Amino acid sequence: MQKDRQKENWNDTRVRDWVDVPSKEEFNSAFLVIKHKYLPLKTKDNSLQTLNRTIWTNNKAFKSRQREDDQCRFCGDTETMEHMYYLCQHYSNLQWELFASALSVVVKKVNAGASNMYITFRNIIFNTPIKNLFHYVKDKEINIMVAMLVHEIRRKIYAFRTSSNEIMNGEVHIVRRAAHILETLQKMLSYLNFLKTGRWLSAIEAIETMIEYVENIVASS
């Protein structure tokens, strides 16, 4: 009986905290994505903790009496998992906008009539496919690569947040943010080249296009 109740109330904390609640099917599918053989173990661990809402944040630390406040070091708002990954207007939200812009260049290169890409909360937290991506880009490997990049960028955001207690008090400079995106893109490029198979040639070309786009932003800043 207790076990059934636990299954029934799997989303209670999301309801309690007023955050987006996925359907049961969407939630279960999100866990299946984590099993992808190309994702590194550290990334899978981050993805699993994200879905289980066990990611350590300043809000959790404050409630556990391990911090004197619950503030995000970039903007000062309460640092929940959702804020850290997506809502912070001084860092994470800007990172997804930058990635979406780079991805849009790739998509429009493949399909000139494509619209701009947008990364949503559900793409980041629940591993849902990016809306219209497959509609414009039928290439399976590019879609797999993009899905992996979402996982890796999310882990990079978490790593940067936990790498220092330095108080930023303002928007992270575009050059620094672009460097984080570039590092993730270059790691993915190295990984796909390491696989040494023609299967990934289109995905490799897509990443190279994104790298060029972000490097041009840095050069003009």
What does each of the 221 residues of the chain score in pLDDT, given as a tens digit? Answer: 444 444 445 566 665 555 666 677 877 888 887 778 888 899 999 999 998 889 999 999 999 999 999 999 999 999 999 999 999 999 999 999 999 999 999 999 999 999 999 999 999 999 999 999 999 999 999 999 999 999 999 999 999 988 876 777 788 999 999 999 999 999 999 999 998 788 999 999 999 999 999 999 999 98
pLDDT at 161 (0 to 100): 87
**How many residues appear in the chain?**
221
pLDDT at 15 (0 to 100): 54
pTM of the model: 0.88
pLDDT at 21 (0 to 100): 65
Q: How far is Cα 29 from Cα 6, in angstroms, rounded to an integer? A: 19
pLDDT at 3 (0 to 100): 45
Torsion of CA 72, 75, 81, 86, to 10 degrees: -160
Q: Give the 3-state secondary structure of the chain.
A: CHHHHHHHCCCHHHHHCCCCCCCHHHHHHHHHHHCCCCCCHHHHHHHHHHHHCCCCCHHHHHHCCCCCCCECCCCCCECCHHHHHHHCCCCHHHHHHHHHHHHHHHHHHHCCCCCCCCCCHHHHHCCCCCCCHHHHCCCHHHHHHHHHHHHHHHHHHHHHHHCCCCCCCCCCCHHHHHHHHHHHHHHHHHHHHHHCCHHHHHHHHHHHHHHHHHHHHHHHC
